[in-house]
Amino acid sequence: MPNEEMLLIPGPTPVVDSIYEAMSQETRGHTDPRFAAVYKSAIEKTREMLKTDGEVFVISGSGTIAMEIALVNTVAAGERLLIISQGFFGDRFLHLARAFGIQADIIQSEWGKQVDPAAVEEKLASHSYKAVTLTHADTSTGVAADLNSLVPIIKKHGALVILDGVCATAAIEEDMSKSYDGGKIDVVLTGSQKAIGVPPGLAVVAFNETALAARQQMERVPAYYCDIYNWIPIMQDPQKYFATPPVNLIYAYDEGMRLVLAEGMEHRYKRHEAYGKAVRAALAEYGMKAIADENAAAATLSCILYPKGMDDAEFRASLAKKGVIVAGALAHLAGKAFRIGHMGNTTEDMLEQAVIRIGETTKELGFEADIQKAVTTFRELAMPVA
Ligand SMILES: *Cc1c(COP(=O)(O)O)cnc(C)c1O
């Protein structure tokens, strides 16, 4: 089932044939040993991707459920949470914290910029926080968090690091075994439909030993479906039942993870880095500028400002007629920018086609575009990585 359109929104991302094929296998009972073996393998592959020996959870739900699982199992009502936000999805943790009576403080960057590590240091020195949330790539702005500078600061102050990898996991390094000046990332959460490249519907969360100890200290949590204690027995032995897993989606996810590991993590990180740079530089040739500073730009998606006077609805509709789907921008950037995903199973060829179609659309709307130049720029930077 080949795709008819290029779905270049920041998730869901293009799904490849082998994933569609895996997904359309016969639906088995969720406790059937043949299905359980696939589920087990999908969990193991996730563990391998994140390099964790803690617990990995792969369950029904979107990325937002993964955020909820991460939070309710680590921070109790009344405890303090620090949120480091580079945009709309970082801010979402504030809404979650409020829903669970968690006392949250937030440091927000200007949209397009990273949070200043000095501000984080200052905040952590002023209060003791149970956990700090980081949004690895904020999908509203295309800004990435600088883990190398933030994780050591947070760990020095003894807080848990909760990393929202919904638009990053499998594309930007998230290695739970890596030591950041002695500190490690404690929780990574993601969804199936972004940089992993599987249809939407799965929440993926990994807890290390420190995060599991935080859950243990809490005794009870204000959740049932999202209580990891209800899921640990299933993750260890998928033939057991707690709530019915989405059998066909697990088939798809297992195949998606096979592709991720077969490509190799280092290759994926380099490939995404190259795609991000190439797409932004190519679009800049049309007078379209990313809102993120280039040194803070995410490898997985870009939020691109329109040239003055270009109409958002008209641009996206014309582009869609050419088979390329991009997303509008969020909040105060709505109408002023569009967002293009370049992650997961997108290819160099697809992105080059997108650059061409965007150039054609730009011209149709009465603006100038040197398509040949943009393609040359794209090719120089998107060179296949060895
Ligand atoms: C998409 C996204 C979410 C929300 O995921 P859903 O699957 O839409 O619930 C959370 N965080 C980030 C960074 C995202 O990109």
Q: Spell out, as residue ranges, where the chain has pLDDT lower than 70.
A: 384-386
d(CA 367, CA 234): 56
What tokens were used for 29? 């009972």
Ligand 1 pocket test: pick from 59, 95, 166 the residue with the most ligand atoms within 8 Å of its Cβ: 166
Are the beta carbons of 132 and 84 closer than 8 angstroms? yes
Residue 164: alpha-carbon gap to chain centroid: 7
Are the beta carbons of 137 and 300 closer than 8 angstroms? yes
Residues 6+ positions from 73 with CB-CB distance below 8 Å: 207, 211, 214, 215, 218, 221, 223, 226, 227, 228
pLDDT score for 383: 72
Q: Which residue is closest in CA terms to ligand 1's atom 5?
A: 63
CA of 58 to the centre of ligand 1 (A): 16
d(CA 85, CA 171): 20
- Amino acid present at 186: D
Spell out where the chain has E strands: 6-7, 55-60, 80-85, 103-108, 131-135, 137-138, 143-144, 160-164, 187-191, 202-207, 289-290, 301-305, 324-325, 327-328, 337-341
CA of 266 to the centre of ligand 1 (A): 24
d(CA 365, CA 359): 10
Please count the other Cβ atoms lying within 10 Å of the Cβ belonging to residue 85: 26
d(CA 286, CA 281): 9
CA of 133 to the centre of ligand 1 (A): 14
d(CA 109, CA 86): 5
d(CA 203, CA 53): 19
- With a threshold of 0.85, does the pTM exceed it? yes
Backbone angles phi, psi at 66, to 5 degrees: -65, -40
CA of 364 to the centre of ligand 1 (A): 33
CA of 138, closest atom in ligand 1: 13
Are the beta carbons of 145 and 114 closer than 8 angstroms? yes
Pocket of ligand 1 (CB under 6 A): 11, 62-64, 89, 135, 138-139, 164, 166-167, 191
The CA-based dihedral angle spanning residues 29, 30, 36, 42, taken in that order and rounded to the nearest 10 degrees: 120
Peptide bond into 152 cis (omega under 30): no
d(CA 150, CA 259): 30
- Amino acid present at 38: V
- For CA atoms 166, 171, 174, 175, the dihedral sign is positive
d(CA 78, CA 67): 18
pLDDT score for 2: 81
Please count the other Cβ atoms lying within 10 Å of the Cβ belonging to residue 87: 26
pLDDT score for 1: 72
Closest CA to 209 of 179, 176, 178: 176
Residue 57: beta bridge partners? Answer: 205
CA of 89 to the centre of ligand 1 (A): 7
How high is the mean pLDDT of the chain?
97
pLDDT score for 5: 97
Residues 6+ positions from 248 with CB-CB distance below 8 Å: 23, 24, 25, 27
d(CA 315, CA 362): 8
Residues 6+ positions from 316 with CB-CB distance below 8 Å: 325, 326, 328, 338
pLDDT score for 386: 55
pLDDT score for 384: 66
